[in-house]
Structures are given as C-alpha cells and as structure tokens.
Amino acid sequence: MQAVGMIAEFNPFHAGHAYALAQARKLTQADVVVVVMSGNYVQRGEPAIFDKWVRARAALDHGADIVIELPVTGAVQAADQFAEAGVATLAALRVTALAFGTEHPELAYLDLARQLEKAPLMDPGFSDYTQTYATQLNAAYAKTAGITQTDPNFMLGLSYAKAVLALQVPMQLYPFGRQGVAHDALHLTANLASASAIRQRLRGGESLAKIVPADLIPVYTKQQQYGWPQYFPWLKYRLQTADLAQLRQVATMAEGLEYRFTQQIDDAIDMTSFLKRVKSKRYTYARLRRLALAITLNMTTAAVEKARHLPQLHVLGFTPAGQQYLRQVKHQVGWPLLTRVSADMLAPNGILAMTHRADRLITTISGVEQNYGRRPLM
C-alpha cells in the first residue's frame, strides 16, 4: 500500500481541508492518506477550538485514513520546528510522500531548501532588535536564494522541505494549488484564513453553510469550544506567582520577556489586552502567544527535550484502509505506536507526560477525558 502524508491542524476542519485531502490522494495515487494533526493545542499558540477527537473524527469522515497526534511539544513551535516534528512523525510511519497546499505549487521546494542549506543563513546579523525574526528571515531568504515570497503556506512548504533535508528522510514533496477552496464572499482563499474565519463565525453563532461539510455543522454547533478566554486566568495566576527562574525554564522564553510578562499581567483583562501590552517590534504576536501558552501549560525546555527523546505515534483514529496500512508497517515503525493509552504513559515520566499535562486542562474545562483509556476512532 502506498501512503501520502499531510501535516495539519484542522482548527476546525472545513471544506477546504476536504478538498486538500482529496488533492493529496489524487496527486499521488496513494491508497491511504495519513494525517499528522496538532493535538489540543495549535501552532498559533492557543487551544484548538475543538478537541483532538472531534477534529480527528471530522478528518476521518472526509478523506483521511489515519490521524496521528502531533504532540503539543511539536505543535506549539515556530514553523520550522512544527514542520520538523510533522515530517519526522510521517517518516517514522514509513510515509515517503508529503502533500501540502501552497500559494506557489509551481516551485521546487527541495531545491530552494538546498540553496538555503548552502548559505550560512543564521549569520550573526540576526540581532536587529527593531524587527521580528520572521522579517529578518525573509530578508535573508531573499539575499541567499532569491526567495521573495512570504505567503504563509509557501513559507510552511519551505519549512517542510528544510525538515526533509535536515532529517535526511526519504520524502517526496507534492505541493498543490489551493484555488479549489470556496471563493465565496468570505474570501476563504487560504487555509489558515478560512479556519480563522470559521472560528469567528462559530464564536459569533453565524452560519457555516457551504464552508463546512454539511454533516459537521450540527456537530460543531453543539461542541464544547476552547480558547484563551478559559486559559487567560491560568496564565495570569501563573505569571503572578511563578518566580523568574521558573519562567526561564519555559520553552522559547527569551531574555527579558520574563520581566515584561510578569510586569504587564496585573492590569491585563484578557489575552488581547495582554498581548498588546507585551508586544514589541522584536516579536510577532504568534511568537508571544506561543510563549504565553507554553507558560500556561508549563511546557519547559526540559519537557520538550524529553519529548524529543521519547517520541511516539498516538493514533487518534483510522479507516479500514488506514488500519490495513498500520498493520503493514507496524513492525517497521521506529516509534511506539499507541492505540490505547495506559496510566503509566501518562505518569510524570511516561511517554505522554507532557501531552497529559496539557490535556488535563481540557478535561478540567469540559470533563471530557482526552487520553486515558481512549481507543482510536474507527
């Protein structure tokens, strides 16, 4: 059986995602589509609007054959680390093709990545404190490889290519155009934009007709939603009581931000006002939001390191074809394949310790257990 992989968040799953899954299958003539999907926390630094099981179910019902969880330690990271975690997971599952939607399907991503590899990109000049890292990265890309595109999905595709080279895994890339996605009044031309528009509509109680597959609409309207409004009081409490040494242990903490965060939290009334208070030219909102989430989840550098050394494949669900594929590869996969989570995996030194830490908060909010004893969706 041939498999094609996708790296996704489905936050939430919508018609554009169904189109993308179909494209991936069509382009590669694969028998199964394997999705590595962010768990309960997403790359932009917030809890996913619906839990991972709801999102996995939607994907399985609309074109995915296997959904594997991308752990919080890989998901809540800058694009390069996010891409690397996703590519590594697919490679561990013996998937050798990766499809992705992009504004520029015509480009040769691996070639571009090779050009970047040759040049010393991270030169010491990356110390302009008046510009974000992303801006400086784009400038360096332009200088080194003549890359002047900065569209978000193009950039993510480039991160995939860089990850393939860095990890030295056998992985063909299959970029495809996103023009199939509903060109309606919402201008849902990009994946991210449309997911964000849907979240807004969901929070505003507006209609999702045509944007979301019809069968998902009743599911979405009755689901528990998660977001910063629930998490902000925890962030505030934590910043008010943590000592600076503890904050410095948090993954992606940068020099000085621990002071800025602890000083600005008292008068912030919600996440938006807090982010405005801590924003500087040096850091993007996404970077700051991810850091705030890492603080809230107590996702320390040590926890990220530990997760890197204890990788695993947490199977959220599969179709019959997906099951067949898993049977085919199960003796070749390099990482533990988890289809049922036991208590020892969730223990402080267990393989899912950080996932459990982060997901306990989801359970506190909704009462829905996220790991222990749960079997893959079929």
Binding site membership: which residues? 7-20, 101, 153, 178
* Choices 47-55, 79-87, 128-136, 238-246 (CB under 8 A): range interacting with a second copy: 238-246
296 binds a second copy (CB under 8 A): yes
- Shortest Cβ distance from residue 241 to a second copy (Å)? 4
Question: Contacting a second copy (CB under 8 A), which of 96, 246, 301, 328?
Answer: 246
**Whether 226 contacts 362, CB under 8 Å:** yes
Peptide bond just before 348 cis, omega within 30 deg:
no
* Choices 19-27, 69-77, 95-103, 229-237 (CB under 8 A): range interacting with a second copy: 229-237
How large is the greatest C-alpha to C-alpha distance in the chain, in angstroms? 57
- Shortest Cβ distance from residue 186 to a second copy (Å)? 36
* Choices 8-16, 114-122, 216-224, 231-239 (CB under 8 A): range interacting with a second copy: 231-239
Question: Contacting a second copy (CB under 8 A), which of 104, 210, 279, 357?
Answer: 357
- Shortest Cβ distance from residue 89 to a second copy (Å)? 24
Phi, psi of 67 (to 5 degrees): -120, 120
266 binds a second copy (CB under 8 A): yes
Write the CB contacts of 18 (distance below 8 Å, at least 6 apart in sequence).
Answer: 62, 63, 213
- Shortest Cβ distance from residue 302 to a second copy (Å)? 8
364 binds a second copy (CB under 8 A): yes
Residue 377, strand partner residues: 317
Residue 175, strand partner residues: 100
| DSSP per residue, 184-232 | STT---SHHHHHHHHHHHHHHT---TTTS-TTHHHHHHHSPP--HHHHH
Pick between residue 119 and residue 302 the one whose CB is nearest to a second copy. Answer: 302
* Choices 116-124, 126-134, 141-149, 234-242 (CB under 8 A): range interacting with a second copy: 234-242
Helix (H) or strand (E) run with residue 321 in it: helix 320-329
273 binds a second copy (CB under 8 A): no
215 binds a second copy (CB under 8 A): no
- Which whole-number Å values give the CA distances from 255 to 21, 122, 237, 261, in the listed order? 41, 19, 21, 11
244 binds a second copy (CB under 8 A): yes
Residue positions forming the annotated binding site for ATP: 7-20, 101, 153, 178
Residues 331-350: x where in contact with a second copy by CB under 8 A, - otherwise, as a string: -----------------x--
242 binds a second copy (CB under 8 A): yes
Question: Contacting a second copy (CB under 8 A), which of 93, 181, 303, 352?
Answer: 303
Residue 42, strand partner residues: 46
Q: Using CA atoms, how far apart are residues 116 and 140, in angstroms rounded to an integer? A: 9
Residues 117-156: x where in contact with a second copy by CB under 8 A, - otherwise, as a string: ----------------------------------------
The residue assigned the tokens 């028998």 is 31
Question: Contacting a second copy (CB under 8 A), which of 26, 143, 177, 237?
Answer: 237
Q: Using CA atoms, how far apart are residues 53 and 163, in angstroms rounded to an integer? A: 27
Pick between residue 320 and residue 367 the one whose CB is nearest to a second copy. Answer: 367
Write the CB contacts of 15 (distance below 8 Å, at least 6 apart in sequence).
Answer: 181, 182, 210, 211, 212, 213
Using only the alpha carbons of the chain, give its radius of gyration.
20
- Shortest Cβ distance from residue 273 to a second copy (Å)? 15
Q: Helix (H, G, I), strand (E, B), or coil: what is residue 337?
A: strand
| DSSP per residue, 236-293 | HHHHHH--HHHHHTBTT--TTHHHHHHHHSTT--SHHHHHHHH-BTTB-HHHHHHHHH
233 binds a second copy (CB under 8 A): yes
Which residues are near a second copy by CB under 8 A? 233-234, 236-238, 240-244, 246, 262, 266, 296-298, 300, 302-303, 348, 357, 360-361, 363-364
